[in-house]
Amino acid sequence: MHIPENLGDLIDTARDPHKLALVALGDLDETEDGWRDTRITYGELDALANGVARALERRGLARGQRVAILAANCAEYVAALLGIMRAGLVATPVNFRFPQALSTFVIRDSDAQLVFCDAARLADCPADLPTVVFDTDGADGFASFVDPGAYDAVRPEPGAPAMFLYTSGSTGKPKGVMLSHDSHLWVARTRAAAQPPQAHRFLVAAPLYHMNALTLVLMSLHGHGTVVLLPQFKARAYISAIERYGVTWLTSVPPMIAMMLREPDLLARTDLASVRFIRMGSAPVGESLLAQIAAVFPNAKVTNVYGTTEGGPIVFGPHPDGLEPPPLSVGYPHPEVRVRLLDVPEGASESGAATGVLAVKSPAVMLGYHNRKDLPVPLTDDGFYVTGDVFHRDEQGFYTFVGRADDMFVSGGENIFPGEVERMLETHPAIAQACVVPVNDDIKGTKPVAFVVRRAGSALTEDDVKQYALAHAPAYQHPRRVWFIDTLPLASTNKIDRAVLKHTAHAELSASGAA
């Protein structure tokens, strides 16, 4: 039995080497004749990863040095990721949606010695660093770089970093989260043991620089599943790929699913019966969206999950007594994970209902932030990662996300968590999505306003939204202004971009003289 010690070495070569590991799709024009895919077996992927590791070693890179990847999802991306780690180097996926100045900051901050990229991002790579281009022939191309042959993966020291994943930087410069081989081998093993991947085809459209997609791919490779990999999320291509490749498992963030549900005609004529599991994470999900998913995917079990880059993707799971979780709950603490609620009222029971900031301790918790001595490390003395996310724990021990502690704002002395207001608004039958942000107010300090995506054919008005909020929530939560938009803007991690909407709200109010 193959028991890897290096995260890049998690493919078990004793299992069927001819099974498909990856079906990597090119950019589609969303027509029948627009489909192009690259099919990579386990044997081929293993050989490519070895070839990358050999080539990196031949270049003289020292163990522990960083190698960046700046590209959209592709098969070569996965091979490079594995090969970098096999060679004892640190893989540093870079957000390709960052402006050039920010992606350059990440590459420089990580002290990367080489950059793997695709042709579309070559111009964004620092000119003084060597590059290997995935989709280019010639001396600087990936095929020319790979050095075919056998390779024994480097055995990392305990606690050695395997990856740096940079957070999106919404509150300043991106931070490099250092993740060890040990931590994410535990993640891959634990997730694969809970739901064996071998029989599944996973559709991955979230970017591989993000924990959501990256850990799913690693888990599938460890458990001998098959990943259908889109270069990036496009709703129509995502829907069509489900039927074309017999996808059984979707992993996504709620805004991606919401965008997919806005294609009712394509959904109606597409066979989606193969989907058995839908794993929703990285952002809160509302009851309305869950109901829509159930209608479109009647054969699928939907799991609402929670994880962070710093604390890992395994925090919660099923209840030990087999109890069904409430609809919006992310579950009961995983048996190998310890959780704690901070700032709960004095005298509150450790097991009863409570609300507070979640702290997590597990084998997946980060080593720390790279090169950021200016930042306090959000780890307690006894090893808990303080997430900054506020959760409610009910009497049965189920946890439900309330909101980011730093998203909370005070209006007239009342604490408002935007997520709570959004979930309430999204119970309205004419509202597909909502985002609530604060704006300044001379009397209350700040006040909530909302951006709303109507359902198709709806004639919903601003007053309708306000009245619904007043009837279904405390008055202080109701949005004082409502703007209707076609789609909510997404940040680079496919989460709703609240910063953009805050700026838009202030601009709208200034233009109307209401600010």
**Domains observed in the chain:** 7-232 (3.40.50.12780), 337-404 (2.30.38.10), 409-512 (3.30.300.30)
Q: Which pLDDT score is estimated for 446?
A: 85
- Asked if 247 contacts 275 with a C-beta cutoff of 8 angstroms, the reply is yes
Which pLDDT does position 416 carry in this prediction? 86
Whether residue 328 is predicted with pLDDT greater than 50 in this model: the reply is yes
Q: Residue 32 has what pLDDT?
A: 47
Whether 20 has a pLDDT exceeding 70, the answer reads: yes
- Specify the pTM: 0.85
The pLDDT of residue 317 is 93
User: pLDDT digit string (tens) for 333-378?
Assistant: 999 999 999 987 655 556 688 999 999 999 999 999 999 888 888 9
Local structure of residue 110 (DSSP, 8 states): H
> Higher model confidence: residue 192 or residue 512?
192
Q: What is the pLDDT of residue 245?
A: 95
Each residue's pLDDT tens digit, 124-178? 999 999 999 999 988 899 999 999 999 999 999 999 999 999 986 445 688 999 9
455, two tokens: 């359902």
Crossing angle of helices 75-86/42-58, nearest 10°?
Answer: 50
Closest by CA position to 73, among listed 106, 38, 24, 107: 24
Q: Please write the tens of the pLDDT for every residue from 90-101.
A: 999 999 988 898
pLDDT, tens digit (0-9, with 9 covering 90-100), for 427-484: 899 998 899 999 988 677 789 999 999 988 889 999 999 999 998 888 888 999 999 9
Secondary structure of residue 113 in the 3-state scheme: strand
CB 241 within 8 A of CB 228: yes
Residue 449's φ and ψ, nearest 5 degrees, are: -130, 165
Lowest mean pLDDT among 80-89, 263-272, 410-419: 410-419
- HEC profile of 233-277: CCHHHHHHHHHHCCCCEEEECHHHHHHHCCCHHHHHCCCCCCCCE
Residue 375 region by backbone torsions, left for phi larger than 0, else alpha for psi between -120 and 50, else beta? beta
Per-residue pLDDT of 29-55, as tens digits, reads 544 456 789 999 999 999 999 999 999
Cα distance between residue 473 and residue 467, in whole Å: 10
